[in-house]
Amino acid sequence: MKIFVVGAGQIGSSLARSLAEENHAVTVIDPDEKILDSIGSSNDVICYVGNGASFSVLQAAGIEDCDLLIAVTYSDEINMLSCLCAHKLGVKHTVARVRNVEYTSQLYELKKDLGLTMTINPEKAAAEEIARIIRFPSASRIELFAKGRMELVSCKVPRDNPLNNMMLKELVPTLNIKVLVCAVDRGGELIIPYGDFIIREGDELYITGSPKEIERAFRRAKMYVNPVKELMIYGGGRITHHLCEALYKKNISVKIIEKDGDVAEEIASLVPSAVVLHGDAYDEELLFEEGIRQADAFIALGGTDEENTLSALFAKKNGVNKVIAKTDGDRMAMLTRDFGIETSVSPKTVTVNRILRYVRAMAESESSENIQSLFKILDGRAEIVEFIIDEEIEGLTGKTLRELTLKKDLLIAGIVRKTDAIIPGGNDKILVGDSVLVLTSGHIVNKISDIIED
């Protein structure tokens, strides 16, 4: 497809790189020539200097045969205007990043006029991901598939745990569980493990299974953490607001620490159920006084990665079971894990994942092999793709998995059939109506038939 990306910030540059790798014809528009030079030198994309909300700039850049425009500048107004201009110039599909809550509430009425086919709020999307983790704090990350019937959960194997030195093929019979370890991060190395793989302390395991089986697995592996009742948050910005909305009526006591007095007053008015404190997360006396040692979870949602990492480390040092840090840069997300902070959430990564899922689904819209979900894991080195099988596919459906010749570095991570979550074995088959989860590293899987070796 021919895709225009308006805005060359962190989200725009990451999208441009991923879309180019998937062989789309990508044009990036931004007024900053230096940023465009950097993107153009390392990616197979066309760069155009200018304002993406200008008719003349869009026309000069070749918008007439564009299939999709994605506007992800820092300005909601420019993003919406860019989509409107593209719509008026004949582009049928547009995506806009919109952060302002007031705009979000009006977009339902304005979508048709603006030509918007998708909007995304990075802060709200990040808050939704954090809320899932808060509900099951044993995990570092949780992704839902097949309307919640199957989950992908990641966790780090702690010291002196029953899983240490256990061979993977012994895991299911020893714990009597129905889950699949589909990927492992060992010191930054991505491994798609086989039965003779030996689990080690510090391994980050990526596990698929039904929610019930996932919880049973954590309990039996002595890694279950009780649900959060006392929550402390550093930072009173948009993510905090959206998170408190997502946790509303969850019987969780929330304390928010915000160093800016005006922001503290604003979040206090928006979230009257929370205790809001004007102070700094580096103020040890304040944190002790407000009970950080009694908190079940601490979430660092401040302005900078450095602030979040340091405050999260302080919380972890003082015995908080679940610590989550917001990060904006990929490198900092990796460093937080090196520091022992197992869970980090990036609004940029969440946004890019959701837009890529939309693009994949759009690219295959004329096919019966529909992409329902797409999530990049392990800093983008692997991804999980969910397909709906709605018709017979020659060479795939009806055959046992042991009869299929799958491509290297690829794994069928789960099958959902009606209400049943199936951990696939050699005798299982893919049938019409199934949701199929595919984990892949090194391959771009746009349709389910791509998993078969030619």
Same domain, 314 and 413: no
In a domain, 258, yes or no: yes
366 and 315 fall within a common domain: no
pTM of structure: 0.84
Residue 128 counted as domain residue: no
**SS3 of residue 322 by DSSP:** strand
Mean pLDDT of the chain: 91
Last residue of a domain, one of 271, 300, 320: 320
Indicate whether 16 and 102 sit together in one domain.
yes
User: Residue 248 is part of a domain; what is its CATH number?
Assistant: 3.40.50.720
> How far is residue 190's CA from residue 278's CA, in Å, rounded to a whole number?
42
Do 316 and 395 lie in one domain? The reply is no
Instruction: Say if 188 falls within a structural domain.
Output: no
The rounded distance, in Å, linking the Cα atoms of 287 and 293 is: 8
Regarding whether 103 and 13 lie in a shared domain, the answer is: yes
Quote the domain boundaries for residue 295. 226-320
Q: Is residue 33 located within the same domain as residue 104? A: yes
**pLDDT confidence of 58, banded at 50, 70, 90?**
very high
In a domain, 348, yes or no: no
In a domain, 241, yes or no: yes
| Domain end point (choices 120, 148, 165) | 120
Q: Work out how many domains the chain is built from and give that number.
A: 3
CATH assignment of the domain containing 444: 3.30.70.1450
Q: Is there a domain that residue 303 lies in?
A: yes
Indicate if the pLDDT at residue 320 is higher than 60. Answer: yes
pLDDT confidence of 9, banded at 50, 70, 90? very high
Separation between Cα atoms, residue 436 and residue 252, nearest integer Å = 35
SS3 state of residue 283: coil
- Selected residue with higher pLDDT from 71 and 443: 71
In a domain, 174, yes or no: no
Q: Is residue 394 part of a domain?
A: yes
Tokens of 140: 């570092």
How are beta strands 369-377 and 382-389 bridged, if at all? antiparallel
Is-contact 377 183, C-beta < 8 A?
A: yes
Same domain, 383 and 306: no
- Residue-wise pLDDT for 125-172, tens only, equals 999 999 999 999 999 999 999 989 999 999 999 989 999 999 999 999
Q: In this model, does residue 355 exceed pLDDT 50? A: yes
Question: What tokens appear for 323 in the block?
Answer: 């610590």
Dig out the tokens for 309 from the structure. 């990492």
| pLDDT given at position 367 | 47
Residue 330's pLDDT band, with cuts at 50, 70 and 90, is low
249 pLDDT more than 90: no
120, 146, 177 - which closes a domain: 120
